[in-house]
Structure 1
């Protein structure tokens, strides 16, 4: 009897060992496929040439040392017959040592000096004049801080990314309808098309463009939360497909890995800043005018966060 039990235990351990080995092999194959797909997708996503190195950086940012860096997110509204405009302009500084993020949505009608053009215009027109680099250089001149990285997203393709992560859940502050979609007040789940319209409405919002910026942040945070979950691993093909078709960035695969390794906790401590100004028409064109002292105030917040003061 004792020998029989011993043999059964050995068979059970052997069986469990075989199951574990099979799981490890499957896991290794899955990890290899994921890494290969990731690298293949990056061939179409990474574009280092679109953004020249900032002259406001004296030395390279060390991601391994968790040094603070900036990212300019451009949501581009591409239009038939022209290059399009940056419908959304979101600046983020990420500090790995403090594990925190500062965010600023720059109103698209903000009147600034367009870098390289020597003219005053709406900040979202910088993209139409000179693409990513002119947008970044205009932001740098406006706030006197470097733009280290960029992420350019086609706003129409934005819905593909939301669908790829299985939709997002947001807390809508008030009921409204826009773009053929109706949004009730309270907690709602959005698919890609709904999320796109949810982030585009601004004229009916009591807070105007600032209310729109808050809704954009909700959706972006929803995508980040879903993308960071284990469940998203099973949707990686859909996610990479959405990114490959609709996104460009100068963040390399190695830099992405470093950011994930050293800055992952920062996404749980995100603070949104707001730049105050007034709306005014100049020569019949509406602009958002930001006083110099307000611009300096916001600039100081980012310089402190980037350890540039």
Structure 2
């Protein structure tokens, strides 16, 4: 067995329980707004929002209140399945930018293994981006993504994978059309159009190694299922699922979106559902300290930053962070397609090592 096969086998075993691979958080937020506007289950809505609300003691953001373009960091944590009870890593990471002026919504998926600085530690700590949520909760996750892309993150929503199966079942399943056969943990969805229940949707969203596109293919399936759920909820029959969905989401979702902001999402931002674009941060694989990382080039990071800032109505700005500094030291890595050697100059730390916060 070659080194790559052994590494893949190791990752398959270690990450069999890879977390929620669908951003139902955005579905939850929009449904909360729509349900509120329709006046359905007001007391249930207020109770649920109070229970899931958590801004980590920070200052309340007023961007949505002022009907301005805003961003939400969506996190899917690997908690709630296979017996995991810790906060977990955010194995799904998406930056959603919503512009009420252009009526456009842009979703950018970022790989869980993206090399990034953990912003908020007392000493320099560079490691996989999905560790930020586990180390410093939403506050560190937001700050780390902001530093990586030079884009302000106004809000976050985090949902753990334990809720995926129940949420899909709460809306009586979703219909998807898959271009490939998908098999995960004993469940197979063959190529073609299918109506999936919660268990099947979870399997469809979790498969990674068997997809020819790897994690990028998995990210597209995450977004595909998310949009299938969202579109179903926007129909008249979908609205009737509101109460059961709210009750289902409560144990699994945390967000710093207030009830007033949820109402605004359902009124002033509703047209953004008609113009949604999904993209991915493309990266190159590297082996660092014996672990597999995804490393985006400076040109790619700058392009993504420019796109997101433009979407938010902000001027473009030259990106400067630990990634750009390390990339400058590794020009040969990006010039040689076969190279996996990346020099971090001691910046990448072993997981949790020397982490003070």
| TM-score w.r.t. length of structure 2 | 0.73
Q: Which has the larger radius of gyration?
A: 1
Which residue does the alignment assign to 1:89? 93
Which residue does the alignment assign to 2:77? 76
Question: Does residue 48 of the first structure (1) align with residue 50 of the second (2)?
Answer: no
Return the alpha-carbon distance in structure 2 between the equivalents of residues 93 and 197 of structure 1: 27
Question: Offset at 1:33?
Answer: 5.9
| Partner residue of 1:143 out of 144, 149, 157 | 149
Return the alpha-carbon distance in structure 2 between the equivalents of residues 46 and 146 of structure 1: 20
Which residue does the alignment assign to 1:264? 270
Contact 1:63 1:262 in 2 (8 A): no
Which residue does the alignment assign to 1:61? 63
Query: Which structure has greater helix proportion?
Result: 1
Return the alpha-carbon distance in structure 2 between the equivalents of residues 81 and 257 of structure 1: 32
Which residue does the alignment assign to 1:28? none
Return the alpha-carbon distance in structure 1 between the equivalents of residues 238 and 55 of structure 2: 27
Which residue does the alignment assign to 1:25? none
Question: Does residue 130 of the first structure (1) align with residue 136 of the second (2)?
Answer: yes
Residues 182-261 of structure 1 mapped to structure 2, 5 A cutoff:
182-261=188-267
Question: Offset at 1:283?
Answer: 1.7
Contact 1:53 1:148 in 2 (8 A): no
Question: Offset at 1:233?
Answer: 2.9
| Partner residue of 1:181 out of 184, 187, 201 | 187
Which residue does the alignment assign to 1:37? 44
Question: Offset at 1:39?
Answer: 1.1
Q: What do residues 252-300 of structure 1 show as CA deviations (whole Å, max 9, x unaligned)?
A: 1111111110111111211122222210111211000111121011000
Contact 1:156 1:196 in 2 (8 A): no
Contact 2:64 2:264 in 1 (8 A): no
- Provide structure 1 residue ranges, at least 5 long, that are not aligned to the other structure: 1-30
Q: Structure 1 pair 233/199, CA: closer, same or farther in 2 (3 Å)?
A: same
Return the alpha-carbon distance in structure 2 between the equivalents of residues 223 and 155 of structure 1: 16
| TM-score w.r.t. length of structure 1 | 0.84
Contact 2:93 2:112 in 1 (8 A): yes
Moved over 2 A (4+): 79-83, 232-237
Return the alpha-carbon distance in structure 2 between the equivalents of residues 60 and 46 of structure 1: 15
Question: Offset at 1:49?
Answer: 2.3
Number of aligned pairs?
A: 273
